[in-house]
Structure formats: structure tokens, C-alpha cells
């Protein structure tokens, strides 16, 4: 018997506003693999990510984490999950550092928030409220969690939005490191990604 895959979605069907986005969709992801969700706007990429994270319930089908339904092992699944939506989930009135420190208290983090911010070129902006940062800088603050988290599975919704070229390079490098360190990634993007072990899934 082979071990259960890390993440397995079987026969997933998603209906939004009476429109069927996809049905009987099978998704499989193993350690060290990345899954790249392609598709036109409104084809259900975000919906699929939300279903895989357990935020939304699929109309039909199940999502299994290491062979167990995510509904039955929610908390242990979430210790291994990092979901970054297209909303950066940062508080405008808090500083970059305060935002990251909060997430460190909320989930599994290691390493220093300051270091991650410096690494992402935000040195000197640590104590600035998020509302004073540019869109790209906000995105970098949100993405800094990828350098801090110990989660094994990353679900990334359009992480490259508003990033400049060096930012994109940085992020790709970090994703490659994560895959090499027995991680796994599901990502949606309109940008071409260059990663080893990447599988494409077109939802259109």
C-alpha cells in the first residue's frame, strides 16, 4: 500500500451563483510538488483554493489531508497550512512589524520578523503603518510570512500581484526552497512561473 498523498481532492464540484465552475475535479499534490492553477478570470481558481483550504465547502466531493478529511482534522491541518488570499490580510493602522508579529502569535512561525522584512527590501519601513506603504510594499509585507512560516502546504492566490521584477525573483526562489524542503504549493497566477516539479491544471 502506498502512503496517502499530502493533499487529495476527489470529485470536487463547485457552484457559484447558480453557475457551475467545475465538476468532478480531481486534485492530487505530493511532497515537493507544486500545482499551478490556470484559467480565465472567473474560472474558479480562487474558489478551488478556498475549497482546498476548507474556507468553502464544495457542492460535492471531499478534500483529504494525508488521507483524512480536512473537516475532521481541521486544527492539525491548519498547523501545516499557510493561505495567502489576494487580499493581503494586513491591518492598515498597524505597522508592518506589528502585523507580522500578530501572525507569529496566531500560527506557526520561526525566525525574526525584522529579518524577513529586511530580506524583502523593507528595512526602514518596519515601523510604518501599512496605510502609508505602496501596493507592492504591502504585498511584500504579506509575503514575508512565507519566510517565517513553518507550514508545509502553501496556498497562494495571485502572490505576484503588484510585485516588481526583483520581488518576483525573490518569491520564485523562496518557493523553490520550500519545495526542496519537503513543502508543497498550490498557486494561482497570471504570470509564468518557473519552478521544478510543477504541474499545470487548467480550469477553463
Partner 1 sequence: MSSPTQAFFGLLQRELRLTIRRRNDWLNPPLFFILVVALLPLGIGPDPQTLALIAPGVIWVAALLATLLSLERLFRDDFDDGSLEQLLLSPHPLPLLVLAKLLAHWLVTGLPLVLISPLLGVLLHLPLAGILALPVSLLIGTPALTLIGAIGVALTVSLRRGGILLTLLVLPLYVPVLIFGTAAVTAPAQGLPNAGQLALLGALLVLALPLAPLAIAAGLRVSSH
Chain contacts with partner 1 (rule: CB under 8 A): 53-57, 75-76, 78-79, 81, 83, 85, 87-94, 98, 101-109
Angle (nearest 5°) at CA 161 between 157 and 167 = 110
Query: Is the CB of 108 or the CB of 195 nearer to partner 1?
Result: 108
Of the pair 33, 53, the CB lying nearest partner 1 is at: 53
Cβ proximity to partner 1, 157 vs 176, nearer residue: 157
Measured from the CB of residue 136, what is the shortest distance to partner 1 in angstroms? 17
Count CA within 13 A, CB hemisphere, residue 166.
Answer: 4
> From CA 66, how far away is CA 52, in angstroms rounded?
13
Closer residue to partner 1 in complex, CB, 40/55: 55
The two beta strands, 153-157 and 81-84, are parallel
CB 66 within 8 A of CB 4: yes
Which of 121/129 has CB closer to partner 1?
129
Give the number of other CB atoms < 10 A from CB of residue 98.
16
Least Å distance between CB 131 and partner 1?
10
Closest separation between CB of residue 84 and partner 1, Å?
Answer: 9
Strands 34-38 and 184-188: parallel
Cα within 13 Å of Cα(130), Cβ side = 19
* Cβ 109 to partner 1 shortest distance, Å: 8
- For residue 46, give the nearest of 143, 176, 186 by alpha carbon: 186
- The distance of closest approach from Cβ of residue 102 to partner 1 in the complex, given in angstroms and rounded to an integer, is 5
Residues 47/21, Cβ–Cβ less than 8 Å: yes
Amino acid at each position: 500500500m502506498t502512503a496517502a498523498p499530502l493533499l487529495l481532492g476527489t470529485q470536487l464540484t463547485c457552484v457559484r451563483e447558480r453557475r457551475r465552475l467545475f465538476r468532478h475535479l480531481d486534485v492530487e499534490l505530493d511532497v515537493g510538488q507544486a500545482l499551478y492553477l490556470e484559467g480565465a478570470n472567473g474560472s474558479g481558481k480562487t474558489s478551488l483554493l478556498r475549497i482546498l483550504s476548507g474556507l468553502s465547502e464544495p457542492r460535492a466531493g471531499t478534500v483529504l489531508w494525508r488521507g483524512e478529511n480536512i473537516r475532521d482534522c481541521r486544527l492539525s491541518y491548519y498547523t501545516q497550512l499557510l493561505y495567502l488570499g489576494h487580499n493581503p490580510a494586513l491591518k492598515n493602522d498597524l505597522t508592518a512589524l506589528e502585523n507580522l508579529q500578530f501572525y507569529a502569535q496566531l500560527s506557526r512561525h520561526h525566525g525574526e520578523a525584522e529579518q524577513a522584512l529586511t530580506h524583502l527590501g523593507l528595512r526602514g519601513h518596519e515601523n510604518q503603518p501599512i496605510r502609508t506603504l505602496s501596493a507592492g510594499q504591502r504585498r511584500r509585507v504579506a509575503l514575508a510570512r512565507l519566510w517565517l512560516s513553518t507550514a508545509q502546504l502553501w496556498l497562494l492566490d495571485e502572490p505576484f500581484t503588484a510585485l516588481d521584477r526583483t520581488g518576483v525573483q525573490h518569491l520564485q526562489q523562496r518557493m523553490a526552497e520550500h519545495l526542496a524542503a519537503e513543502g508543497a504549493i498550490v498557486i494561482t497566477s497570471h504570470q509564468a512561473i518557473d519552478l521544478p516539479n510543477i504541474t499545470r491544471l487548467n480550469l477553463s
